Structure 1
Amino acid sequence: MSVSGLKAELKFLESIFDKDHERFRIVSWKLDELHCQFVLLPPPPGSSPQPPPPLTIHCNITESYPSSSPIWFVESDDPNLTSVLERLEDIKKSNTLVSEVFWLFWAFTWLVCLLGFITLTGQLQ
Structure 2
Amino acid sequence: MDRGGLSGLIVLFMIFDGAIKLPPLDVVTQTMVPLGWPADPNVARMLGVIGLVSTALYALPRTSVLGALLLTAYMGGAIATNARIGNPLFSHMLFGVYLGIILWGGLYLRDPRVRALIPFSR
- TM-score if structure 2 supplies the norm length? 0.32
Q: Which has the higher contact order (CA 8 A, sep 6+)?
A: 2
- TM-score if structure 1 supplies the norm length? 0.31
Higher strand share: 1
Higher helix share: 2
